[in-house]
Every structure is written in C-alpha cells, then in structure tokens.
C-alpha cells in the first residue's frame, strides 16, 4: 500500500485520485443451517472531500459495514478498495498496517494515553507505524482542531471536549484515506455533539478528508453531504443536502416498511 509522506494537512493530492470503493460486499454470520446475511451485495463509493452519513434501524448492518472497512470483519464476497488496494486480499499484517496508516477512527471514548503529552498522543500513530514525526504538522493539526495551546499537557489536564479534539488530531495525523466514526455523538449532550459534528464537517471542508459517519441522530446526519439508508443489509435510498426533519421522516418511513 502506498505511503504518504506527511506534509501539509490540507495537501491530499497524493491520494485524491483514489476513491474509497466497496463493491458487491456481502457478510454473513452463523453456520449453513442458521446463516444470516448482515450485508447483502453492498456497493458504495466515497469520493474525496465528501461527508457521508449512514443511517438505519438497529441490526441493519451499519457496524458490520464499518468493521469490514477496518478489516475487523472478513467479508464473504466483494472488494473494498482503500488507497488503491483491495483490503479483502490483505493478510493480518497488511490489515494492521492499513488500520494504522490509512484509516482514522473516531470512537465515542477518546482512548488517549494518560502518561503521554498531548503532542505525543497526537503523533503516536506515526511512531507506531515507524514513520518520521513532523512536529510542525502535529502543531498545525492541533491548531486546526483547537488544542494548539495544550501540546505540553497530559490528557488529565484537559476538559472532555479538549480530549476529544486531541483524539481527532490523532486520527488525522497519518493523513488517512478515510475517517470512520460509529455513533461519535451517541453519549454526548447537545453542546458537545455540536463540537464533534463541527470537527467532522471541518475535516472534510477544510482538510479535504472523507468522512463516513454512522449515526441514529438525524441532527448529526444533517451535517453530512449525503445520507444513505441501510435496512436488512441493503441500501434503501439516499438524501443529499437534506435538513434534519426530512432525514427523520425518511428514517421513520424506513422503520415502518417491511
């Protein structure tokens, strides 16, 4: 898989030509007698500089889709191309490298390392990947997400919101092809959700990243460029540039249809 050489956080020319694409993706669980198809022949293209939200009822396959993208679940069929490589063909070492360097993940919890400074937490993925650490880039990223003045502190000396910003900078430091977020606002109050959603939006609009967001919250999905609806492991329509009310209505409709 191609490596990126750090550089300016806005400079994505190197991988701008590669869309992230999923084609014919199916994933089942269980044995032959009890086989259950969590994903059934899914296609998806995530273009550069786009923010895509995925919504659907509980059990519709959203997390399974993200797990396949992260190489944590092995699909039954289909291809997943990230950075020009079909990750379904990678072995464990290749998948580990892909997760370290090519996909950034934003969790509900921040998972910062308490004994490391903010600067060292942000640069940790580079260190783990054995890549050179460009402190100017770390500072730029920290500034972009609003924690530029806290680089020498430990996580415990930051507010929850500041810790979350550090986690975002850490997800971005390897200049990944894709940022994935599974319910990042699920446990947050409105004000904290707004911070996370604003960060996701600016990652796309200002840094030129691609974001794939899984959410139950129409308010969160309304921040995306498009919303894709999943049910029973299949797509059931999409909305572009829709407001919260329209997204909520489409989601309710999806739950009613059987």
Residues at the contact surface with ligand ATP, assessed by CB under 6 A? 29, 38, 56, 58-64
Q: Which does 52 bind (CB under 5 to 8 A by kind): ligand ATP, Mg ion, none?
A: none
Task: Report the alpha-carbon distance of residue 202 to residue 167 in Å, rounded.
Answer: 15
The answer to whether 41 contacts Mg ion (rule: CB under 5 A) is no
The answer to whether 192 contacts Mg ion (rule: CB under 5 A) is no
Residue owning tokens 């990243």: 209
DSSP β-bridge partners for residue 178: 103
Q: How far is the CB of 64 from ligand ATP (least distance, A)?
A: 3
Q: Which does 59 bind (CB under 5 to 8 A by kind): Mg ion, ligand ATP, none?
A: ligand ATP
Q: Which does 38 bind (CB under 5 to 8 A by kind): Mg ion, ligand ATP, none?
A: ligand ATP
> Which CB atom, from 61 or from 75, has the smaller least distance to ligand ATP?
61
The answer to whether 108 contacts Mg ion (rule: CB under 5 A) is no
> Which CB atom, from 38 or from 44, has the smaller least distance to ligand ATP?
38
Does residue 44 sit in helix, strand or coil?
strand
Helix/strand number for the chain, H first, E second: 9, 10
> Which CB atom, from 60 or from 163, has the smaller least distance to Mg ion?
60
The answer to whether 63 contacts Mg ion (rule: CB under 5 A) is yes
The answer to whether the CB of 197 falls within 8 A of the CB of 106 is: no
Listed ranges 48-56, 62-70, 116-124, 250-258: which one lies at the site for Mg ion (CB under 5 A): 62-70
- Tell me the number of residues near Mg ion by CB under 5 A: 2
Q: How far is the CB of 126 from ligand ATP (least distance, A)?
A: 30
> Which CB atom, from 56 or from 176, has the smaller least distance to ligand ATP?
56
> Which CB atom, from 30 or from 198, has the smaller least distance to ligand ATP?
30
Could you list the beta-strand ranges (E) of the chain: 20-29, 36-46, 51-55, 77-82, 85-86, 103-106, 178-182, 211-214, 226-231, 234-240
Vertex 206 angle, CA 162 and 51, to 5° = 90
- Beta 85-86 vs 20-29: how paired, if at all? unpaired
Task: Report the alpha-carbon distance of residue 158 to residue 46 in Å, rounded.
Answer: 34
10 Å CB burial of residue 155 (0-12, 13-18, 19+) is buried
Listed ranges 24-32, 60-68, 94-102, 131-139: which one lies at the site for Mg ion (CB under 5 A): 60-68
The binding site for Mg ion (CB under 5 A) comprises 62-63
């Amino acid at each position: 898989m191609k490596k990126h050489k750090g550089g300016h956080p806005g400079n994505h020319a190197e991988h701008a030509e590669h869309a992230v694409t999923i084609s014919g993706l199916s994933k089942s669980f269980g044995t032959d007698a009890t086989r259950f198809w969590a994903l059934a022949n899914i296609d998806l293209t995530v273009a550069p500089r786009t923010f895509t939200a995925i919504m659907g009822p509980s059990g519709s396959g959203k997390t399974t889709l993200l797990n396949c993208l992260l190489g944590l679940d092995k699909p039954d069929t289909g291809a997943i191309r990230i950075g020009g490589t079909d990750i379904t063909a990678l072995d464990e070492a290749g998948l580990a490298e892909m997760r370290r360097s090519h996909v950034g993940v934003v969790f509900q919890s921040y998972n910062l390392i308490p004994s490391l400074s903010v600067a060292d937490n942000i640069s940790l993925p580079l260190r783990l990947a054995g890549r050179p650490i460009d402190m100017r880039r770390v500072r730029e990223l920290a500034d972009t997400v609003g924690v530029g003045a806290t680089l020498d502190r430990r996580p415990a000396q930051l507010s929850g919101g500041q810790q979350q910003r550090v986690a975002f900078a850490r997800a971005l430091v390897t200049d990944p092809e894709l940022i994935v977020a599974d319910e990042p606002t699920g446990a947050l109050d409105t004000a904290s959700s707004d911070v996370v959603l604003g960060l996701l939006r600016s990652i796309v609009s200002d840094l030129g990243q691609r974001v794939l967001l899984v959410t139950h919250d129409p308010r969160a999905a309304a921040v995306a460029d498009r919303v894709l609806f999943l049910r029973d492991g299949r797509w059931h329509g999409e909305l572009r540039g829709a407001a919260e009310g329209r997204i909520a209505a489409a989601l309710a409709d999806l739950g009613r249809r059987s």
